[in-house]
Structure formats: C-alpha cells, structure tokens
Amino acid sequence: MDASYPMAFLVGEAVKVVATIISLAAVALWYRDVHWLCVLAGMFVALKVNLFALLLRT
C-alpha cells in the first residue's frame, strides 16, 4: 500500500462531505417547497450506492 493512499482517501471524503453540504444548501435556498425526507433519502442512496455495487460484485 502506498503511503499517500490514506491522504488521498481523506481528501476524497472531505470533497464528498463538502459537496453534500453545498447540495443541501442549494436545495434549501432554491426549492422552498421540498419534501425533506425524500431529499435526504435520495442523498443517502446516492452516497451509499458504492456499497451496493460492492455487494453485487462479490
């Protein structure tokens, strides 16, 4: 394992968290009449789809 892998992983996760926060803020600003349960459920599924792909692959 390369020594830079943990740093790359942490940077990637930080980018994902920031993008998620920006997406939720954009929804809150531009779509006043939104069903938050649906938005959060969709966000959860989109962020966890890599786990489903891993389960299907093995």
Structurally, how many domains does the chain consist of? Answer: 1
Q: What are the pLDDT tens digits along the chain (58 aa)?
A: 566 788 888 898 899 889 989 999 999 999 989 999 999 999 888 888 888 887 887 7
Domain of residue 17, residue span: 5-57
Distances (CA, A) of 12 to 6, 20, 58: 10, 12, 24
Compute the distance between CA of residue 25 and CA of residue 19 in angstroms, rounded to an integer: 10
pTM metric for this prediction = 0.67
Question: What is the per-residue pLDDT for 1?
Answer: 56
Question: What is the per-residue pLDDT for 2?
Answer: 61
For tokens 């954009």, the residue is 26
